[in-house]
């Protein structure tokens, strides 16, 4: 398995549903010192997961305050709009959004989160517009 490209098209975001399906993309991310991102089915809903610890230590590998603030704001907008469940993890190392309505939207959000974690906030801005646009 290869690491995800940056930017990553939504259709390439791995489905990590189940223990075995989770381990392959997580180990690949660790082996390549890359950010882990995946979607996972949970009943009729989906979860988006991202972990920056897989990128390893070193300069330029952490999430900047500005990027973390933008991601946190976007996730809280989604919670407020009831697009994701309350209790989402908003970083700065681990990010998770439960209760996404379908796989397509989960992949869109995961790809946008992945781009944001690589300091490209434009996909996140498109995927999660200002609060008034989500309702």
pLDDT tens-digit map of 53-99: 999 876 566 789 999 999 999 999 999 999 999 999 999 999 999 99
Q: How confident is the model at residue 1 (pLDDT cuts 50, 70, 90)?
A: confident
pLDDT at residue 97, rounded to an integer: 98
Residue 36 pLDDT greater than 70, yes or no = yes
Q: What is the mean pLDDT of residues 39-59?
A: 92
Question: Sign of dihedral through CA atoms 117, 119, 123, 127?
Answer: positive
The DSSP code for 61 is: -
pLDDT at residue 19, rounded to an integer: 86
Nearest to 115 by CA among 10, 31, 39: 10
Q: What is the mean pLDDT of residues 19-30?
A: 93
């Amino acid at each position: 398995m290869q690491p995800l490209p940056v930017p990553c098209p939504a259709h390439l975001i791995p489905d990590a549903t189940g223990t075995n399906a989770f381990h392959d993309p997580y180990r690949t991310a660790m082996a390549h010192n890359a950010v882990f991102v995946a979607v996972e089915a949970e009943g009729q809903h989906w979860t988006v997961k991202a972990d920056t610890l897989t990128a390893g230590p070193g300069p330029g590998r952490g999430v900047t305050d500005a990027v973390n603030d933008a991601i946190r704001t976007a996730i809280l907008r989604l919670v407020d709009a009831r697009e994701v469940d309350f209790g989402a993890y908003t970083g700065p190392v681990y990010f998770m959004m439960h209760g996404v309505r379908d796989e397509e939207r989960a992949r869109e959000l995961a790809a946008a989160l992945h781009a944001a974690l690589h300091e490209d906030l434009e996909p996140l801005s498109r995927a999660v517009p200002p609060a008034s646009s989500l309702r």
